[in-house]
């Protein structure tokens, strides 16, 4: 199959979905109305609640939800064949992921910018809220610990990315100052910033940086400590100083990177060398249900509801902006995931080269192999335009690390919000404040990461995929209850909810068996608790559905 045909068909599908289904959701389901005052205006404080231009907030939201996941997930899932991976990314993004993200953003905007976890109390009950908050904290703990490790590994694997990544910090601060304090033109600032970024990308290719292992005599641990300190600082600064402008720059990186790869496809239009379907994979988990766990952010991800109802909603200027940011952001992430699939299947020179890379699940599943498939394959596309391969690889390496860094400090900021919500319930006023709450977000992640020289997060990482998709199911459950309560068609969220909860439960039961037979008591116990938690929340939701239906009947009789 020609890779250009696949790309064109997928991207046209995303555009049509945005124009038709996205508009249907906006007007007929969510009834977006700019007369509704958003939380950014209700609670504007210049730190977390900051009304933001749509194009800037789109950049922040997209780079937060993307991270490295829509790249690494598809890059391993294609081992089962490019067709099932592509179908899940395209249709999952359109009918599940985008509905999940859009719904989480709107429902949070209608509930004073509270997290989906917190809103659960209003719609389902206080017990369900507490359980959801604890699940969210657990997932974010893993994200913070592991993404610090991921970036550390990427810095050591791609030292050419170190200089441009850290240069981006002062560039972003300058952009924030120019736009917010000098009322500068954001488009002009974005163009200048991205030009400066790519100058340093080229410099980084020829001046790679490898720092000494001055902490614990371990280079990975050294980077993890540096990154967690950075995450603390970045997540406590006002969003307009670093978070927004850096993510705005990163969104430009995406447009440039995707544009270059697409132009490379136009010129070279390589054939996909990977098999369409491949069920004979050495040591791989079952295709069903693990495809839907392996490809998370590229199609549907619970982390997105945390981002939408965490940082994004607090910067939403107008309700109608939610379509472009919530639904459109997921379409763009789907586009990135499609390109990752093509890079990992058509970016190889031959079938033999692909088979050598994907000889087994274990060989293809390492971080280096997954990111390497995207960087090397995508670099081959860009090289078709006459760009040196090492420069093209540098562009894509910086893109991957930039997105991972966004996920790290956004997850830290979101964890601070979650801690503050729980602290409010427990009357622990000290942890409702910005710095103590952030400290409580970072320290446990640091302690977890410190195990095994910075790699401690990997102890719990096998649980993250199922936890993440469980959270997606829970968020869709909350959206469904809300739609029923306001008497709107709920099939748009209930069908995706049922599907992903079935897939996730199936995967968790398989994992339970594997953890038990493998003697991994810690993961077995935590997984069992998660299964019980899921059942508990679903039972609470069934009760909420019953109460909502009864109230509706009373209202009908009264009217």
Q: Within 10 Å of residue 482's Cβ, how many Cβ atoms?
A: 23
Task: Give the pLDDT score at 403.
Answer: 87
Distance of alpha carbon 184 from its chain centroid, rounded? 30
Residue 2: helix, strand or coil by DSSP?
strand
Task: Give the pLDDT score at 264.
Answer: 94
Three-state SS letters, 130-163: HHHHHHHHHHHHHHHHHHHHHHHHHHHHCHHHHH
What lies within 8 Å, CB to CB, of 215 at 6+ separation is: 221, 222, 225
Query: Tell me, what CATH number does 451's domain have?
Result: 1.20.1740.10
Domain count for the chain: 1
CA distance 88 to 81: 12
Cα–Cα–Cα angle for 32, 35, 40, rounded to 5 degrees? 85
Residue 320 DSSP label = T
Positions of the chain with pLDDT lower than 50, given as ranges:
none
Please state whether the peptide bond connecting residue 84 to the residue before it is cis, i.e. omega within 30 degrees of 0: no
Cα–Cα–Cα angle for 182, 187, 191, rounded to 5 degrees? 105
Task: Give the pLDDT score at 548.
Answer: 67
Task: Give the pLDDT score at 552.
Answer: 56
**Segments forming the whole domain that contains residue 140:** 3-558
pLDDT digits (tens, 9 = 90+) for 308-322: 999 999 999 999 999
Residue 455 DSSP label = T
CA distance 544 to 389: 57
Q: Within 10 Å of residue 19's Cβ, how many Cβ atoms?
A: 10
Residue 271 dihedral angles phi and psi, to the nearest 5°: -80, 145
């Amino acid at each position: 199959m020609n890779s250009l045909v696949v790309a064109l068909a997928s991207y046209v599908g995303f555009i049509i979905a945005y124009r038709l289904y996205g508009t249907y959701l906006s007007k007929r389901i969510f009834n977006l109305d700019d007369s509704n005052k958003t939380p950014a205006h209700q609670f504007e404080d210049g730190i977390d609640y900051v009304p933001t231009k749509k194009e800037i907030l789109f950049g922040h939201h997209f780079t937060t939800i993307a991270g490295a996941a829509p790249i690494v997930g598809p890059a391993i899932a294609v081992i089962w064949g490019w067709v099932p991976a592509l179908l899940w990314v395209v249709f999952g993004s359109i009918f599940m992921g985008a509905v999940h993200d859009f719904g989480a953003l709107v429902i949070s905007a209608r509930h004073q910018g509270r997290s989906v976890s917190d809103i659960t109390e209003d719609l389902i009950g206080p017990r369900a809220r507490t359980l959801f908050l604890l699940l969210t904290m657990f997932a974010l703990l893993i994200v913070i610990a592991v993404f610090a490790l991921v970036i550390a590994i990427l810095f050591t694997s791609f030292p050419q990315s170190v200089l441009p990544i850290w240069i981006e910090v002062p560039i972003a601060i300058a952009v924030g100052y120019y736009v917010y304090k000098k009322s500068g033109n954001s488009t002009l600032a974005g163009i200048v910033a991205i030009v400066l970024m790519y100058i340093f990308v080229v410099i980084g290719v020829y001046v790679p940086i490898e720092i000494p292992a001055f902490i614990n005599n371990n280079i990975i641990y050294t980077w993890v400590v540096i990154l967690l300190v950075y995450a603390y600082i970045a997540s406590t600064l006002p969003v307009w100083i670093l978070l927004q402008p850096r993510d705005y720059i990163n969104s430009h990186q995406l447009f440039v990177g995707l544009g270059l790869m697409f132009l490379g496809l136009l010129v070279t239009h390589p054939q996909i060398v990977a098999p369409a379907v491949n069920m004979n994979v050495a040591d791989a988990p079952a295709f069903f249900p693990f495809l839907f766990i392996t490809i998370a952010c590229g199609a549907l991800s619970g982390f997105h509801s945390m981002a939408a109802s965490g940082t994004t909603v607090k910067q939403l200027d107008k309700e109608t902006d939610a379509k472009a940011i919530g639904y459109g952001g997921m379409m763009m992430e789907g586009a990135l995931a499609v390109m990752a699939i093509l890079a990992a299947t058509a970016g190889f020179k031959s079938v033999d080269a692909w088979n050598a890379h994907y000889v087994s699940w274990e060989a293809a599943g390492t971080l280096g192999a997954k990111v390497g498939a995207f960087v090397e394959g995508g670099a081959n596309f860009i090289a078709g335009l006459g760009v040196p391969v090492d420069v093209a690889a540098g562009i894509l390496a910086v893109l991957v690390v930039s997105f991972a860094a966004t996920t790290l400090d956004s997850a830290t900021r979101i964890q601070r919000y979650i801690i503050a919500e729980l602290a409010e319930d427990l009357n622990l006023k000290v942890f409702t404040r910005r710095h103590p709450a952030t400290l409580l977000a970072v320290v446990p992640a640091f302690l977890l990461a410190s195990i095994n020289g910075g790699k401690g997060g990997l102890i719990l990482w096998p649980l993250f995929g199922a936890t993440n998709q469980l959270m997606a199911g829970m968020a869709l459950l909350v959206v469904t209850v809300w739609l029923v309560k306001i008497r709107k068609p709920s099939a748009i969220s209930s069908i995706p909810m049922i599907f992903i909860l079935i897939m996730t439960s199936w995967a968790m039961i398989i994992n339970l068996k594997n953890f038990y037979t493998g003697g991994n008591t810690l993961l077995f116990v935590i997984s069992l608790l998660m299964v019980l938690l899921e059942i508990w929340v679903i039972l609470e939701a069934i009760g909420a559905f019953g109460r909502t239906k009864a109230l509706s009947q009373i209202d009908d009789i009264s009217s």
